[in-house]
Amino acid sequence: MYYGGIQALKNVSLHVQPGELLAIIGANGAGKTTLLRTVSGVLRARSGSIRFEDRELTRLSPYQIVHLGIAHSPEGRQLFGGLTTIENLRLGAVQRKDRAAIDQDVEYIYGLFPVLKERRLQRAGTLSGGEQQMLAIGRALMARPRLLLLDEPSLGLAPLLVERIFEVIARLKMERVTLLLVEQNARMALEVADRAYVMETGHVTLEGPASELAANPAVERAYLGG
Amino acid sequence: MAFVLQQLINALALGSIYALMAIGLAIIFGILRLINFAHGELLMIGPYLVLVLSLLGLPFGLAVVVALVLAGFVGVIMERLAYRPLRGAPDVSLLLTSLGVSMFLQNSVIMAFGGQSKAFAGPAFLDQRLPVMQNVGIATIDVVIFGTAIVLVVLFTLFVTRTTLGISMRASAENLLAAQLVGINLGRVIMVAFIIGAGMAAVAGILYGVRIGKIDPLMGFIPLLKAFVATVIGGFGSIPGAVLGAYVLGFLEILLSGSLPSGVTAYRDAIIFVLLIVVLLVRPQGILGSGEAERV
Amino acid sequence: MTIERARALNGLVLLGVMVLFVLGASQLQNDYLVRVIMLIGINILLAVSLALASGFTGVFSLGQIGFMAIGAYASALLTIPPSAKTHTLLPGLPPWLASLDLVRTVGGDLSSLGFSAEAADLVATPIALVIAASSGALFAACVALVVGIPLMRLNGNYVSVATMGFLVIVNAIAINLDTVTRGSRGLGSIPSLSRIWIVYLFVAIAIYVVWRIRASPFGRAMLAQRENVSAAQAMGVDILRTRLLAFVIGAFFSAVAGALWAHMITAVAPAAFYFTYTVNVIVMIVVGGMGSVTGATLGAVLLTLLPELLRGLEGGATIGPFKLPLLFGLSNIILAVTFVLVMIYRRGGLLGDRELPLFWARKGPASKGEAHAQSLPFERHASARIDR
């Protein structure tokens, strides 16, 4: 079994249960992206510790962290724009050696996002915003992660596409992928999540089951536009 | 006709030397944003290693192979000792550091071998001329240069499009953050980039040395400048662009020397650098590049 | 004591020390020492102007030595006696320049003003040199203006490559414009006009000017745009104008250095003003501190002396029972290693942006209103790098 205990930013302490969908909501600049990048090892924590299945992550390189089973679909998608869709997907599995299984997983991603199959030989930079977001999620899934970090998957997408992305997130949850979802779209995030944290300028201000938070008047006022 | 053919071969040989240099510059720039001024020294070290190994009794072919391995090793050491500690530093700091590395390597060779040029020759057949038409002989070395460059460019293209490591290399050059996030081992990719860059530069140096018949510690400088121009023309960091830029430059140089009045020919290098500045100003992303235009 | 008074006193003390130093040094009979001291001054000029043009602005120019070459050639053509620049030697010179005998003309003017012949002679040499150096420097500044208007729009690596292109172009012109420069053979017969006091007069002027610029709103604008171009732009800094000013003034003083160099060595050749010198000056300001006038000065002093001291070693030496062989290149290797180590461990140079504290004003005169004193050059761009 695994648990992740995170202490970063200003005494931020949070943990994710296996198979759980944890959402972190909060305004711009609350430190959500910083938090995820610290988990991935791209940014270094000055102090504190990040543990995953009882392994300390703080001193590890990003590629070692991926090796442990954490994949990251970053904010702004961060695709390899000059590479094709299929090359992007396969790079998600860069550390895996099981060729046959990788081919299967590519098909699995095409099942989740059929449009990616049509675009497979197209450069990622030429895809539409929604397609790029799908590719970013697909690429992260190609690592067969035990923990998937999703940073702002709905940012800048049309409502219909947001629905589509959240459908896939719900499906991943059913398949027992552990998810850490960072979102500004609090309504959608709280709908799909098991538990949630509310972050403000580097602090966690509220935490609890997603349904409770969604009913909390303060959250409603600040994040749900109530 | 004979003259045109001769010039064509000259241009191809020249372009090939530049291309071998430019590929290394482009991949290293693509990943690290480093304009590696020490790349010229990697070119220079190749033939010097061959010289030493030949003195030790190795036949030319074997000496070349060992020299390439050692040159790759020099590239790796260079990256480990000088550039890796500066990872994440601003571009200009890296550029300045490479000036120091260049100075170090140049003077190490001066200390070991002296500053004067030394005679350098390959196997005898390279000095012969291939009879193509009547009265026209093509230097064998020029054909070998072009052939080697083509083979290496094809191999390199296969490497970056067909192998996981090669695709990872392109990916790292495209987006360093994403490369880290998907789990590419950057240290290894960078090391391989330096091995390939150093190896190709050494090949270029050995061929160049055989062609002009002598080598000296500063011989890398002019090819380095030209390779810079080639990578800029092709778009910094773009590998096909760098190769294309190299051949464009090779043809341009031959064209400039052949078609201008003799008083102007002397300014060939000046003209080429004016061109470089114009490209930087008008199309900083180069012919094929699509990278960001860093301008105010 | 108010800060202003302390600062004024500081300046005076500094000036006094310098005058004493120059007076003392002028008494030296040893030609080698005199030359080294002049060379230190010339290198200070180069380092300080590079610190202004590049260290302050973050626009790293590799073309600085091109302006030095322009200053050297232009001033030399003014002072070389007509007998040495006749039509057969330098057919490309315009008649007025070919027949110009600056030293003698100045002497003649002075005696017509009523100076005695001896006095006129004594004063004519330095005045001729100042005129020649200033004219050469003005010419270089004009070139810098023309070149800088397009080039200073570029950022980061691109500006370095473009200015390197400028250096190559200047070199190609110096080699190929035979009729004016005598090609790679270079110009000889340059009168030996450089004196320690003239060199250090220019050094004092350059340091004063650069120091004042740094403390002025213009200097703060330079540092601001170095840290963050778009933020500075948003604050209303005219980036192009700011960089251009630094570039042109840097070119001016580099050209002065070239003129002094030419009239010390008494000969110029294209090979002298190329990459080796470029790298040497960069090493000076990197070691000393890229954004610091005192740092650049310190770097220039250290890195002019070091090779002179190491030169003994290169010729082979005996240490106890060990006999060292000839080691050409050793001093440059030591310089290179030092340079790389400084880049790794102290990226902003020994002093970074700080100034050496002088006597009373503990913080150094330039630190007033100096928000960036602690940050290293170019550091800000670094954080943005990974997101590209």
Rounded Cα distance, A107 and A127, in Å: 19
Q: Using CB atoms within 10 Å of the CB of residue C44, give its burial: 0 to 12 exposed, 13 to 18 middle, 19+ buried.
A: buried
pLDDT at C74: 95
* Nearest chain B CA: its distance from C272 CA (Å): 15
User: Is C231 within 8 Å of chain B by CB?
Assistant: no
In this predicted model, what pLDDT tens digit does every residue of C305-361 receive, in sequence order? Answer: 888 887 766 655 555 555 555 566 788 888 889 889 988 888 777 777 777 765 433
- Segment A99-107 mean pLDDT: 95
Which is nearest to A141 in space by CA: A218, A72, A67, A51?
A72
CB B293 within 8 A of CB B53: no
| Average pLDDT value over all residues in chain A | 87
The chains found to touch A (3+ Cβ pairs under 8 angstroms) are B
φ, ψ of residue A176 in degrees (nearest 5)? 65, 30
In this predicted model, what pLDDT tens digit does every residue of A40-68 receive, in sequence order? Answer: 998 887 777 888 888 888 889 999 999 99
User: Is B190 within 8 Å of chain A by CB?
Assistant: no
Residues in chain A closer than 8 A to B164 (CB atoms): 90, 94
Contact (CB<8Å) B183/A83? no
Residues in chain B closer than 8 A to A63 (CB atoms): 180, 183-186
pLDDT at A30: 77
Take residue B239 and report the two structure tokens written for it. 């590998």
Would the pLDDT of C11 be above 70?
yes
The answer to which of A78-92, B163-177, C277-291 has the lowest mean pLDDT is C277-291
φ, ψ of residue A150 in degrees (nearest 5)? -115, 115
- A interface with B, Cβ–Cβ below 8 Å: 40-42, 61-63, 65-67, 71-72, 74, 78-83, 87, 90-92, 94-95, 139-140, 143
ipTM value: 0.88
Q: What is the DSSP string of C188-247?
A: --------HHHHHHHHHHHHHHHHHHHHSHHHHHHHHHHH-HHHHHHTT--HHHHHHHHH
Residues in chain A closer than 8 A to B183 (CB atoms): 62-63, 65-67, 71, 94-95, 143
pLDDT at B47: 97
Would the pLDDT of C378 be above 50?
no
Nearest to A80 among B174, B180, B186 (CB): B174
Residues in chain B closer than 8 A to C283 (CB atoms): 100
Interface of C with B in 281-300 (CB under 8 A): 282-283, 286
Interface of B with C in 101-120 (CB under 8 A): 101-104, 106-108, 110-111, 114-115
pLDDT at C386: 30
Rounded Cα distance, C334 and C327, in Å: 12
- Segment B83-91 mean pLDDT: 85
Counting one residue from B and one from C, how many pairs have CB atoms under 8 Å apart? Answer: 162
Report the percent of chain C where pLDDT is more than 70.
Answer: 85
Q: Which residue has the higher pLDDT, A29 or B205?
A: B205
pLDDT band (50, 70, 90) for residue C1: low
Take residue A97 and report the two structure tokens written for it. 């050696």
Cα dist from C130 to B53, B70, C197, C202, C207, whole Å: 56, 54, 12, 9, 17
CB A192 within 8 A of CB A169: yes
Residue A101 Cα to chain centre, angstroms: 22
pLDDT band (50, 70, 90) for residue B288: low
Q: Which residue has the higher pLDDT, A148 or B130?
A: A148
In this predicted model, what pLDDT tens digit does every residue of C201-242 receive, in sequence order? Answer: 999 999 999 988 888 888 888 888 887 778 888 787 888 888
- Segment C105-113 mean pLDDT: 81
pLDDT band (50, 70, 90) for residue B292: very low
Q: Using CB atoms within 10 Å of the CB of residue B222, give its burial: 0 to 12 exposed, 13 to 18 middle, 19+ buried.
A: middle
User: Is C2 within 8 Å of chain B by CB?
Assistant: no
- Segment B12-24 mean pLDDT: 95
Would the pLDDT of A164 be above 50?
yes
Instruction: Name the H helices within chain B.
Output: 2-32, 39-55, 60-78, 91-113, 140-162, 164-174, 176-181, 186-212, 221-234, 239-259, 262-265, 268-282
Interface of B with C in 74-93 (CB under 8 A): 81-82, 85-86, 88-93
Rounded Cα distance, B283 and A184, in Å: 39
Would the pLDDT of C136 be above 90?
yes
Contact (CB<8Å) B281/C385? no
Q: Which residue has the higher pLDDT, C21 or C135?
A: C135
CB C176 within 8 A of CB C294: no
pLDDT band (50, 70, 90) for residue B214: very high
Contact (CB<8Å) B171/A139? no
Residues in chain A closer than 8 A to B186 (CB atoms): 61-63
| Average pLDDT value over all residues in chain B | 88
